Chain A
Amino acid sequence: MTDPSLDMSTVAPTRNQWWDVWDQFKSHRGAVIGAMFLIFITLFVVVGPWLYGVDPAKLDIRNKDMRPFYLGLFTDVKWSWTRPLGTDHLGRDIMANLMQGGKISLAVGWVAMLLALVLGTLVGVFAGFFKRLDGPLMRFTDLVLSLPLLPLLLVMMLLFRDPLRASFGPETGIFILIVTGIGITSWMHTARIVRGDILAIKEREFVLAARSIGTPPRRVIMRHLLPNVMSPIMVSATLGLATAIITESALSFLGLGFPSDFPTWGKILFDSVDRMTNFPERVIWPGLAISLTVLSVNYIGDGLRDALDPRIRGL
């Protein structure tokens, strides 16, 4: 006779798949550090300005060209604790600008990534699920892949900047332009991966079962196919976020991004390049912010890929 109470204690509580994923993710040290850094930088740009309370756009000519505190402590330069990272040539606080710029850079990254993801998933699902659409959609994807994307993006920036600025205002207009620009030039890889997975999954028995009881295609896609392609989508989301942040800062760096009085990390870097001989910190901080954010996102992607792969998970 078995003791029922003993039985209860040996059976582990039911866990869903995402707990396993989380356990595996936790064991990837780089990914955990990356996730922590991403949370930190998000808090830095979202909560930071509220705690720090300095207006990034406020001109303060009397206190221009202040140096950061770590230089001020050891060398004889103009600095102050109220301006921890110094001020630029117009006396604007660099720390406040980094927060403000980061907010925009991260917002552009997230929105552009989501747009690319939605487009890519749509194209991928349609191409994979409906045989008739497969040929034309994939030919179209190949065509877009063979466009020179960065030059085209630059051209788009220049050409549509003014009309969008006129109709939506300088900030929203450029934001819309950059986000759509990056979104419609980076959905192709997601589309290919999703299509490949859908093609494989739709031949499986559970999809056949769902169809045989008369589930309409829309519900087959929503209930049975999409949840099963979540992992590749999430991995390509991290890649997309990283490329979107880099592309935005590259555009700003080439002078074709946001307008001049509107800081993003790339823009601050670009504006400071002329004075980097005397004030290297103005280049290094925004550059570090971009690089570390992208690095942490890439590490998260790496960890997610391992965690979502059932062949690796549990080893």
Chain B
Amino acid sequence: MAEPASTAQDAERLDDALYVLHGSQGTGTIRALLYGGYLVAIFGGVYGFNLLRALLISSDPQWLRAAAASVWSLLAFGTLIIGLGLLAWRVGRVRGPLVPPLPFIDLLLGSAIDRWQVLRERAWVLLISGLGVGVLIGVLLGGAAMGAGLGSAAAVLGAVVGGAVLGVALAWLWLAGQHSLAPRGPGRAVSWPAMVRDLRLDDVRAHALRTTHIGGAVLAGDLRAARLDVAPAITRARSRRLRPGGRVSTIVRRDILGYRRAPGQAVAGVLGVGMSSALIALAVLQPAAPRILGALALIVAYLGFGALAEGVRLVADNAGTPPLLGVSFRAEAVLHLIAPAALALACALPIAALVGRAHALEAAGAPGLHPAYALGAVTVMVALLAGVTLMAAFRGTPPEMSFVPEVGPMTMAYWYGRPLAVAVSGGLLLGSLADSRGWAPVLLGAELALAVAIIAYGIRLARRLELGHRG
């Protein structure tokens, strides 16, 4: 039996193998890292800094200072950090950071060379990227605050250090998520080399295959394939049964059963909708709040509502197949909106009422809308979400222009992003209620009408997709 090679021998063997793969030019990792850093820095500097600064100077500085120092802000910041950490770990379980191409995995990672040696370069890239992105975010946030007269140089330094720590921590959690797939050994690996050595060939290979599938699916506009690749297998509440009843109640119960069997997704959806309801209520009631709050809220709400609307997407997946259910295609799509919309309202209305009450106590006598407008705004938000969810589910296949090299990426991005863009625009409109004064009832009514029109458009898209298969 061959003896395990020493570290030096491993390095030598790896160098030889890499020379065969890449020749004298090397792997190009450093060049790719530098180029990526250059792009991120340019975009961050040109767009990020100016956008953040504009956001800060367009808000009431006194309100911003008070808001930043409040317990709620600290709580929101803590929740955001924990949420990012959980997200990084979760993403690591689906697609880890250390995923070389398939031939590299089969020929090098599967060889007797120390796994840390083989993946070390990629692990360093991960660490440096985390550090770099964290520092950049710190510089942007701190710099924008200083530029808007809201912070000092010390605040910039603090933001940079905080950003760097957060970036490295998120990179580590991403790797920890990938590492968590491996069965636990006798000791708990926490160092980078130990975690990398623990990675199993099968897991890395599965992630590489998934990356290839998802990449292909996204480029081809086949979001169903991408979604199924990412979605975890459901095995919960197996013995719980779908109770038969009327058409409407059974379809609603189906969606509720889905929430019980995929509780993580349902909780994420409820949290997303809940958080965005609070933001919308704040944007509507507080004239000093930044106007962009409404747009941010709708981005979160779009993702949250989407997590609750699995049934709608499945109807779209079945477009063109012979019908199995005794309801029409469009009716089925609409029925699958009942459960997510009801759940979203059940979560959004109390939160909006709470924010409204807190605002009324805090800002008694100050100018601003009546707290009831927050309830109206989140109701419109849910209607809008129902509409854009239909738009997203029934968007069909990408336009032919998406495959023309010169304009393809832009067309594809537009095709993917249209529902989200509509949601964000709706969020901005809702946020503008705060400035509407006497026109608020008219504006709110108009926004509700717009949301209903978007639902009607979504149903029309469903019809078009259904008929498109008859061609």
A-B interaction:
no
Partner-A contacts on B (CB < 8 A): none
